């Protein structure tokens, strides 16, 4: 699309097309491309290994129930699969498809809130996990129809801590264990986030 826009812009600058034609051509191209993308997205079968979606985020903290309740409240998530040390929070109801995913073998993303020693040696005698030298320092979540002011007001009303703006499109907050959580709409994406 960028190349096409550049070509048409050149033609406009060289007087080959009018301003009106440039506007109409780019408008048509944008809307046509969207229609084509809607049909073609995810049709191609992945070869080798290709991540289709986040399956789950494994979140370990001192009190998984407290974390589960916080994420449930803030993001309107149900809790399923309560166990002794963990609870699962899917991003939707049973039978729903992940947003804009058509493949039938891609489940809803979920968070697992856990309380455990992540450095403990595995019970099966396998080698303990190596010490990581990188850190997932926050997770950004996409919510529907994101309006920063409205969402900020809602989160304030819930008593969410340390609310602050993040760039043009998002909000940051802190969960009960000091973990940074970002929230945004679809406008915050791999092409806009810098």
Which one-letter DSSP state was computed for residue 15?
T
User: Residue 6, interface with another protein (CB under 8 A)?
Assistant: yes
Contact present, 68 and 113 (Cβ < 8 Å) = yes
CB nearer to another protein: give 84 or 117: 117
CB 24 → another protein: shortest distance, Å?
7
CA dihedral 194, 97, 52, 57 (to 10 degrees): 70
Task: Using CB under 8 A, pick the residue from 99, 128, 162, 165 that binds another protein.
Answer: 99
Query: Tokens standing for 158?
Result: 């819930």
User: Residue 17, interface with another protein (CB under 8 A)?
Assistant: no
User: Residue 171, interface with another protein (CB under 8 A)?
Assistant: no
Please give the Cα distance from 34 to 54 (Å, whole number).
24
Site for another protein in 76-95 (CB under 8 A): 76-77, 80-81, 88-92, 94
CB 192 → another protein: shortest distance, Å?
7
User: Residue 160, interface with another protein (CB under 8 A)?
Assistant: no
User: Residue 34, interface with another protein (CB under 8 A)?
Assistant: yes
CB 171 → another protein: shortest distance, Å?
11
C-alpha distance across the termini of the chain, in Å: 20
List of residues 6+ apart from 161 with CB closer than 8 A: 173, 174
CB 42 → another protein: shortest distance, Å?
7
Site for another protein in 37-56 (CB under 8 A): 37-38, 41-42, 45-46, 48-56
List of residues 6+ apart from 10 with CB closer than 8 A: none
Token pair 């030298």 is found at 133
Could you give the string, one character per residue 103-142, with x where binding to another protein holds by CB under 8 A and - elsewhere?
Answer: x-xxxxxx-------x-------x--xxxxxxxxxxxxxx
CB nearer to another protein: give 129 or 156: 129
User: Residue 194, interface with another protein (CB under 8 A)?
Assistant: yes
Query: Tokens standing for 15?
Result: 């007087």
User: Residue 14, interface with another protein (CB under 8 A)?
Assistant: no
Going by C-alpha positions, the residue among 67, 60, 72 that lies closest to residue 115 is: 60
- Could you tell me how far CA 30 lies from the centroid of its own chain? 24
């Amino acid at each position: 699309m960028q190349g096409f826009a550049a070509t048409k812009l050149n033609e406009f600058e060289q007087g080959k097309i009018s301003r009106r034609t440039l506007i109409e051509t780019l408008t048509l191209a944008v809307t046509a491309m969207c229609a084509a993308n809607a049909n073609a997205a995810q049709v191609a079968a992945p070869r080798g290994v290709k991540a289709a979606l986040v399956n789950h985020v494994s979140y370990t903290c001192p009190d998984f129930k407290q974390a589960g309740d916080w994420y449930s409240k803030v993001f309107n998530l149900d809790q399923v699969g309560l166990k002794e040390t963990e609870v699962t929070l899917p991003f939707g109801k049973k039978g729903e498809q992940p947003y804009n995913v058509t493949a039938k073998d891609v489940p809803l993303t979920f968070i697992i809130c856990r309380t455990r020693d992540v450095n403990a040696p595995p019970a099966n005698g396998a080698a303990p996990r190596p010490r990581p030298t990188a850190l997932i320092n926050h997770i950004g979540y996409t919510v529907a129809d994101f309006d920063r002011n409205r969402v900020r007001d809602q989160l304030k009303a819930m008593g969410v801590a340390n609310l602050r703006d993040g760039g043009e499109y998002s909000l940051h907050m802190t969960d009960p264990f000091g973990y940074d959580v970002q929230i945004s709409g679809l406008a915050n994406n791999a092409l806009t986030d810098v």
